[in-house]
Structure 1
Amino acid sequence: MSVKTFLLPDLGEGLAEAELVKWLVAVGDTVVIDQPIAEVETAKSMVEVPSPYAGTVHQLHGAAGEMIQVDTPLISVLEEGSEAEPATASQPVREVALSYREEERAGVAEPEAEGSGNVLIGYGTPDGLAAKARKRRPRGGAVGTAPAQAQVRAAVSVPLRAPLVISPLVRKLARDRGIDIATLAGSGIGGLILRSDVEAASAAPVAAAVVAAPAPAAAPAPAAAPAAQPAVVAPRAASAETGELDSRSGLAVASRTPITGVRKTIAQAMARSRSEIPEATVWVDVDATALLEMRSSLKARDPQNTPGLLAFIARFVVAGLQKYPELNSRIETNAQGDVEIVGFDGINLGIAAQTDRGLMVPAIRNAQQLSARGINAELARLTEVTRSGKATVAELTSGTFTLNNYGVFGVDGSAAIINYPEVAILGVGRIIDKPWVVNGELAVRKVTELTLAFDHRVCDGGVAAGFLRFVADAMENPAGALADL
C-alpha cells in the first residue's frame, strides 16, 4: 500500500491558512502530476493547487468553505499500481495530523516545560515543548515508536486535556467569547474543532437562559428581583427568532459574518494606514472638457485602439510622479531602528478595482515605460484577472502609488485611505456638467474633482500641491502634456 498525502503548501508571503473554495476532483478520480485538484482562496488571491502525485484520489481532507492551515493534509492519493488497505489506508494522514496537534498542545500536557507554547504553522518555539515532543517521537520503525504513538493516542482521547485545534484563529475566537475550548466536541476530521463549533457554542448560553427563565426560583428572590424581571422577559421574546440578543442595543442579532480572507487583509491594511500614517488631503476641481474632446477625436479616427480616459489620467499621474518622486516612496524602519524614506527606480501604478471579493489594487509594473495605449492594455488585462480571482500575489502587492477612480460609483470626491505601505493615493471623481468661467465668461464645462491623500512624513503641502496641479494642468491641456511625454 502506498498512499501519498499532500499537505497544503505555503501559497506566498507566509500566509498561514487558505479557504477551500471547491474541489476539482473527487474520491476515486485518476489524477496526474501537476493536475489542478482544488481552488483555494488566500488573503491575497484565488489559486489552483496542482497535485504533486499521480494515481487515484484516496481521500479529500476538508469541505468547500472550510479554512485549511498550511502544512496540514489537503489530499491523499493512492499511487498507481497500489491497493489501499482499509485498516491502514489513513495511517500516513493521521501521523501528519497528529504531529501538528502535538504542537498545538505545547504547554498543555507538560506545563512545566520551557517555551512559550504559542506555536503557529511554520513558526515554532525551538527550546519549548514542541521541539522536545518531536525529539521524543522518532519516526518509522525506530525503537520507542510504539510507546510514543500510544502516548499521542492517549492524549487525543482526552479532549479536556488536549483539545484538537489546529487553527490559532479558532483558539482566539473561543477566548474572545469566553468559551472553554476543551469542553467542545469537534465536527471536523478526527474530532478537529472548527470555527463553526465555537460559533455554535457561543449561542448556547443565550438559548439556555431563554429556556430557564420561566422556571420558578428555588430560593426567595431578593428585593431587586421584580425590577429586573422585564430584562429577563424581553430577551426571551427577541431571542425566539434569532437565538441571540445584542446586549448593547437590545435588538435581535440578524447575522454574524466572520472577517476572513481578502476582507480581513483589507481591514488590517486600512486600520494600519489610519493608525500609522499622518495623512493630509488636498483637492482641486479640473476642467476635463479638452481631455474628453481629444479622446472623442481619437476614437472617431481609430475606435479600436483609443485608450480610455483612465489610461490618459494614469499616464499624467506617472509623469507627475517622475517630477515629484517623494510621493512614489515608502516609509520603512531599518535594522538599526531608524525610520527611512525608501525611493524607487520605477513606478508600479496601482489601480483600485472593485470585485466580488472586495477592493483589490493590482499594479501596472514599470508604468513609466508605457504609453497611454500600453497602460490601457495592461489595465484591461489586470482588471480581468483580478475580478476573476486569478491575479498573482505579486500583481496585488507590488504597487508604489494608487490611482482610484471612484467616479464610476457616481460620487464627486472621497477622503480616501492610503493603501498601506504606500504614501499617497489619488482619487478621481465623476465628470459632470458644471458652470465654469472661461475667458471671463460663464460656460458649461465637463468638470471633475481630483483628491490627493498623502503621508505628511515624506513631504510637505508644497510637493503634494505641485503634483496635484501638474496632473490637473495635464488634464486641462492634454495635447500639450502628451507632446512632452
Structure 2
Amino acid sequence: MSETRVFLLPDLGEGLTEAELVSWHVAVGDEISVDQPIAEVETAKSTVEVPSPYAGIVAELHGQPGETLDVGKPLISVTPVGVAGVAADDAAPAEPAGPVVEPAETELGEPVAEPAKAHPEAEAYREEEKAGSGNVLIGYGTPGGHGVARRTRAPKSSVAVAEPADAKPAEDDLSLLRTRVPGRLGAVISPLVRRMAREHGVDLGELPGSGEGGLIMRRDVEKAIHAPVAEPAQTRPVETKPVETRPAATQPVETAGAPEGVDARTGLPIASRTPVKGVRKAVAANMARSRSEIPEATVWVDVDATGLLELREGLKAGGSQVPGLLAFIARFVTAGLKKYPELNTRIETASDGSQEIVSFDGVNLGIAAQTDRGLVVPSVRAAEKLTARELDAEIRRLTDVARQGKATPTELGSGTFTLNNYGVFGVDGSAAIINHPEVAILGVGRIIDKPWVVDGELAVRKVTELTLTFDHRVCDGGTAAGFLRFVADAIENPTTLLADI
C-alpha cells in the first residue's frame, strides 16, 4: 500500500491563522521535488509562494483558488516515488488510501512524546515541520538542510501513549508549534489550540497561559470552554424576551415581506456584498484595536518648506542624484526620535493587567503605502543609521515590493514609528490612527503656495502641515509638541541636519 504524506499549510508569520489560495503551480499526477513552489497564497500581509517539503507524485490538492485555508489544515498530499510500486511515470494514483501521518522523530531517532494522538492534525503538523531541506518560508522553516544529522524512524506501535493533561510538551514540540498571538508578548499557541479556541468562541487575547513563559496550552482552552456553565441560564431569558414580546404583525414585514436583493432596513436594492478579508481585514482589525486601546491626542503645525525645496533644486542643478522630499523628512524624523525617544516605544500589558513602556535602541521607520490590496506599512530597519540618499533608496524599494504584494511579514510588522505622506492624495491634514502597537504617527500634507510673513513682510511661501498623533500614556503634550517643532524647524532650516546627504 502506498504511503501518502500530507503537507499542512504552515504558519506564514506573526500570528496569521489563515491564507487565501491564489493559484496552484502543480496538478494531481505531477512529480515534484523538495522546495519546489506548489502554490501561491495571499495572507493579510503579503503574497507568497509555498514550497513543498516533500518529493514525489501529487496525490491530492486540498483546496480551490479563491478558497480561504486555515493554518494547520491539509494543503497537498504527496506520494513518494518508489514507495509501494509507485513510479515516476505512474502519474495519478487511483483513489489513494487514507493519508498516513508518521510519528514525530528526533534527530537521534528517539521517539518524541506524542501529546495529540487523538488529534492527527497536530501530529501531522509536527511531522511536516521536521521534513524538508532547511529553507525558510517566512515563519516556517524546514530544518533538514544544514547538516547530515541522521534520522532513524521511530518504530510504529499499535498502542497509543496518551500524555497526561498537565504534562509539559517537549521543548522540540514548542519550537515547532509556537506562534505568537498578535498583541500578546508571552502567549504562544499551536494551530490545534487556535482551532479549538476558534470553534468554541474562546478569546485567546483574554486567556492567561499556564505553560512556560505564558504559553497557552490545550488544557487552558478546555478550562475556559467548560468554565462558564451557569452563564446561559442568566442570559437566555434576556435574549428570548424581545422575541416573545414583539408584536407578531411586525415580523413578516421585516423578513418574509422583503423582496430578495433588497435591504430590509433601508428598502434599497443591494448592489454588492464584499467579504472583508486579506489586507482589508487586517487593517480593519488593527485600526479598531488602536482606537479602542490607545488614548490618543493630536497636535499639528504649519511649516514653511520653501528652504527644503530650494535645497533640492540646488542639488539638482549640481547634477547629483537627489533624494525625494519624503526621504529628507524621514531623516529629520529619525533625528527627532533620538531627541524624543518616548515616541519610539511600545506599551506591553501583562496577563495581570500591569503595563510596561518598552523602548528601543534604534528606529524602524514605517512608511505608509497605499496599494491595490489596501494600506500597508513596510518599515525601514535601523533607519537612524541611514543618510537621506540611503533612506530614499530603501523607501522606494519597500514601496515597490509592497505594491507588488511581495513584502515579507518582517518588513510589514517590525516598525516602531510611522511616517504617513497623505499629501500625495491632495489633502492638507489628517488625524491619523496610530499603527498599533506603535505609539505615534506623523502625517505630512500637501505642499502648496500660501501667504506667509517673512522678516515682517508678507510673501508667498511653500507651506505644508505636519500632524502628530500620539499615545498619551507614554508622554504628555510637551514631549509631542517638542518633537513636532523639532521636525518643523529642520524642514524650515534643512542644512543644519543634512551634512551627511
TM-score of the pair, normalised by structure 1: 0.70
1:426 matched residue in structure 2:
442
The structure number with the bigger radius of gyration is 1
2:471 matched residue in structure 1:
455
2: CA distance, partners of 1:68 / 1:377: 36
2:419 matched residue in structure 1:
403
2:63 matched residue in structure 1:
62
The one of 401, 404, 408 aligned to 1:392: 408
The one of 240, 258, 261 aligned to 1:235: 258
Q: 1:399 to 1:231 in 2, by over 3 A?
A: closer
SS at match of 1:408: helix
SS at match of 1:40: strand
Q: Is the 8 A contact 2:345 2:359 kept in 1?
A: yes
1:35 matched residue in structure 2:
36
Q: 1:287 to 1:80 in 2, by over 3 A?
A: same
Q: Is the 8 A contact 2:21 2:68 kept in 1?
A: yes
Q: Is the 8 A contact 2:35 2:52 kept in 1?
A: yes
Deviation per CA, 1:432-481: give whole Å up to 9, x if none. 11111112222111111000000111111111111101101110111123
Give the letter aligned to residue 70 of structure 1.
V
2:303 matched residue in structure 1:
286
Give the letter aligned to residue 481 of structure 1.
L
Give the letter aligned to residue 287 of structure 1.
D
Q: Is the 8 A contact 1:361 1:396 kept in 2?
A: yes
Query: Does residue 72 of the first structure (1) align with residue 73 of the second (2)?
Result: yes
Q: 1:34 to 1:95 in 2, by over 3 A?
A: closer
2: CA distance, partners of 1:230 / 1:344: 59
Return the offset for 1:225: 9.0
SS at match of 1:92: coil
Deviation per CA, 1:210-262: give whole Å up to 9, x if none. xxxxxxxxxxxxxx9999887689623xx2xx2xx323222232222222222
Q: Is the 8 A contact 1:382 1:391 kept in 2?
A: yes
SS at match of 1:330: strand
Query: Does residue 326 of the first structure (1) align with residue 342 of the second (2)?
Result: yes
2: CA distance, partners of 1:346 / 1:23: 41
Deviation per CA, 1:97-150: give whole Å up to 9, x if none. xxx9x769xxxxxxxxxxxxxx9x99xxxxxxxxxxxxxxxx967279xxxxxx
8-17 or 430-439, which deviates more: 8-17
Aligned length: 376
Q: 1:140 to 1:468 in 2, by over 3 A?
A: same
The one of 298, 303, 317 aligned to 2:315: 298
Return the offset for 1:10: 1.3
Alignment of 1:133-144 (within 5 A): 142=158
2:269 matched residue in structure 1:
252
Q: Is the 8 A contact 2:255 2:264 kept in 1?
A: no
1:20 matched residue in structure 2:
21
1:47 matched residue in structure 2:
48
RMSD: 3.3
1:377 matched residue in structure 2:
393
1:153 matched residue in structure 2:
none
Return the offset for 1:337: 3.7
The one of 443, 446, 449 aligned to 2:462: 446
2: CA distance, partners of 1:21 / 1:256: 20
2:283 matched residue in structure 1:
266
2: CA distance, partners of 1:233 / 1:340: 54
SS at match of 1:311: helix
Q: 1:407 to 1:141 in 2, by over 3 A?
A: same
Q: 1:93 to 1:384 in 2, by over 3 A?
A: farther
Gaps of 5+ in 2: 104-115, 126-154, 161-193, 202-246
SS at match of 2:498: helix
2: CA distance, partners of 1:273 / 1:317: 22
Q: 1:454 to 1:87 in 2, by over 3 A?
A: same
1:199 matched residue in structure 2:
none
Query: Does residue 89 of the first structure (1) align with residue 96 of the second (2)?
Result: yes
Return the offset for 1:300: 2.4
Give the letter aligned to residue 293 of structure 1.
E
Q: Which has the higher helix share?
A: 1
2:360 matched residue in structure 1:
344
Calculate percent identity across the aligned residue pairs: 66
2:326 matched residue in structure 1:
310
Q: Is the 8 A contact 2:324 2:392 kept in 1?
A: yes
Could you list the runs of 4 or more consecutive aligned residues of structure 1 that deviate by over 4 angstroms after TM superposition?
Answer: 84-88, 93-96, 166-173, 224-234
Return the offset for 1:398: 0.7
Q: Is the 8 A contact 1:19 1:65 kept in 2?
A: yes
2:213 matched residue in structure 1:
none
2: CA distance, partners of 1:32 / 1:229: 60
